[in-house]
Amino acid sequence: MNPFDWQQTLACGAYSRFPEAPRRPVIGITGNFDDNRCTLASTYYKMVVEAGGTPVIIPPIDNQEVIINTLAHIDGLLLSGGGDYNPLYCGEQPSPYLGGICSERDLAELLTVRLAYNRQIPMLGICRGIQTLAMALGGHVIQDLCHQRDIPQTVKHSQQAPRETQTHTVDITPNSILHDLYKDDSIAVNSFHHQAVGNPGKLFIATARAKDGVIEAIESSDFKPVMGVQWHPECLASGAPLFKWLVDQAKAYHEACILHSRILTLDTHCDTPMLFHQGIDIAVRDPRILVDLHKMDEGHQDATIMVSYLPQPKLGETFSSKVAFDVSSPFEYANLIFDKIEAMVAAHRDEVSIARTPSDLYEDKRKGRKSIMLGIENGIALNGDIANVKHFAQRGVVYITLCHNGDNDICDSAKGCNTHNGISRFGEKVVKEMNRWGIMVDLSHAGERSFYDAIDISATPIVCSHSSARSLCNHPRNLTDDQMRALASVGGVAQITLYPGFLRSEGEATVMDAIAHLEHAIHIMGIDHVGIGSDFDGDGGIRGLSCSSEMLSFTRMLLARRYNPADLQKIWGGNFLRVMSIVQQSANANTNSISIE
């Protein structure tokens, strides 16, 4: 073929068949900047292509709207090498040994990394890129290895040999991503730097070091697909595994995003309203809370059930002394919380709405809105008046957790004193009235006797909106295997919670513990009876699944464990909504006469 006959090339290429080309993950590569030009060494994008990705160059622009729109169109981010960082960005004065800085890149890349991290986008940082990760995400960068480090430098970290020459070795930490890629404890690398990561910070762990102790690689400590290396793998034949890793992670990220666009994702329990007294607004990305519209958007989460949490007063305490707002009763407090939710939603009606039914949720998703459902955590909100069940049904409450940490007038708590030996006579009336008005009976926090009583009393399936498995963590708040079987036998669901103390008895709980509890519940109950109720802002949240923005990562991990889309729809709210539909549809004729306009 004539190499200059470009039309023949087109005729014989992808354009001549259908589909024209399989989708390749889009990898954004940060461009360098020099002499008023955005530049990039060809080795970066060639390695991305070789690994199966589609490279695009990201110019250094610090406009946040531009960055957010850019991130919306890529599946992975490659942070390229280049000049030194201006240390003023981390509050340090420049060392006299600081090299040439690139002010055009610094702010743009720090913003890009922070926003990409919030969105769970896979990242690989190279040379300056590893320093970008550290600078943007809480680590510390040494300005000059020779003069700002206590340990003497015994390795030449800025070689004069050609870039494709390996000049020193690095030791790799076992059980790290890097070790999995190279299957070796040590590899030879090249080196062109005098800055280095001094402290990776809480979000990273060091996974490779030079013989003199200099950090040569870091990776996420939160199970995120984020890694940085100090050397230049794009110049080495041995660098291919790193680019293949990034492209594979980008593909998995894209698959998770597509799945979330097709299924409805519901977190069945969050306590964000408990913090309303601090003046928070769910439309603001607020570091004080774990659930807001920004974080839900970053995590591709469609809906959450925000509860009015009512602490259980002890003997001799008044309810008003337990809450931040000046109220006269639990009933008044619950209504005040719902008033505040409704006011916030009304102020942002184009972005979020209050949903009352599963159909409302799906309609909101179709229109591109987030959804909030209302729940009550602790039946003392009824104020001992059975008529208030109807009142809360009319307000749109979808479930009432019968009790909290302490017995109340409805039932005994898992942490109570066996006041009623289960559900009280009044509690029996409450359960039946909830059935009548289409409110789900939630048995999280209930004692075992209360649990079995509710199953016997309720005419519709019950739920546990945020509970985990007692056989994996022996806590009275968790469900025994027998409780799980009983729950499944009546069509109910158990929503695994992310409260650390309900996932592990000792040590730090992580997302892997949440997966273990979920899979145990699936083993005992079946895939049709499980879900997730995070307990965010009620002390829920664990490493790897710490807020709403990380919900997408959970899906990515479950996809890697071979869960299919149908399974994930069930886990992400489908099972819970099935019960909600049954409860609402079986409500008697009195419920059908209620206006829910």
Residues assigned a catalytic role: 127, 232, 234
C-alpha 157 chain-centroid distance: 37
User: What's the CA gap between 8 and 10, in Å, rounded?
Assistant: 5
How far apart (Å, rounded) are the C-alpha atoms in residues 125 and 236? 16
Burial readout 200-218 (b: 16 or more C-beta within 10 A, e: otherwise): bbebbebbbbbeebbbbbb
d(CA 498, CA 467): 9
- Show the tokens assigned to 109: 């890349």
Three-class SS of 500-552: HHHCCCCCCCEHHHHHHHHHHHHHHHCHHHEEECCCECCCECEECECCHHHHH
Rounded to 5 degrees, what angle do the CA atoms 202, 79, 242 make?
85
CB 495 within 8 A of CB 464: yes
Q: Where are the beta strands (DSSP E) in 127-245?
A: 140-142, 168-172, 186-189, 196-199, 204-210, 215-220, 226-229
Q: Do you find a cis peptide bond into 19, omega within 30 degrees of 0?
A: yes
Per-residue tokens: 462 = 């019950």
Asked if residues 298 and 119 have their Cβ atoms less than 8 Å apart, the reply is: yes
Contacts of residue 567, defined as CB under 8 A and 6 or more positions apart, other chains included, come to 527, 558
Length of the chain: 597
What are the helix and strand counts (H, E) for the chain? Answer: 19, 22
Tell me how far apart the alpha carbons of residues 289 and 295 are, in angstroms, rounded to a whole number.
10
Q: Which of 195, 405, 178 is nearest to 309 (CA)?
A: 405
Q: Tell me the Cα Rg of the chain.
A: 27
Tell me the backbone φ, ψ of residue 531, rounded to 5 degrees.
-175, -165
Buried b (16+ CB within 10 A) or exposed e, 473-495: bebebbbbeebbebbbeeebbbb
Least Cα distance to 444 among 487, 485, 478, 398 occurs for 478
Query: 250: alpha, beta or left, given left = phi > 0 and alpha = psi -120 to 50?
Result: alpha
Is residue 443 within 8 Å of residue 579, measured between CB atoms? no
Under DSSP, the state recorded for 176 is S
- 35 φ/ψ angles, rounded to the nearest 5 degrees: 55, 45
**DSSP β-ladder status, 530-532 and 493-496:** parallel
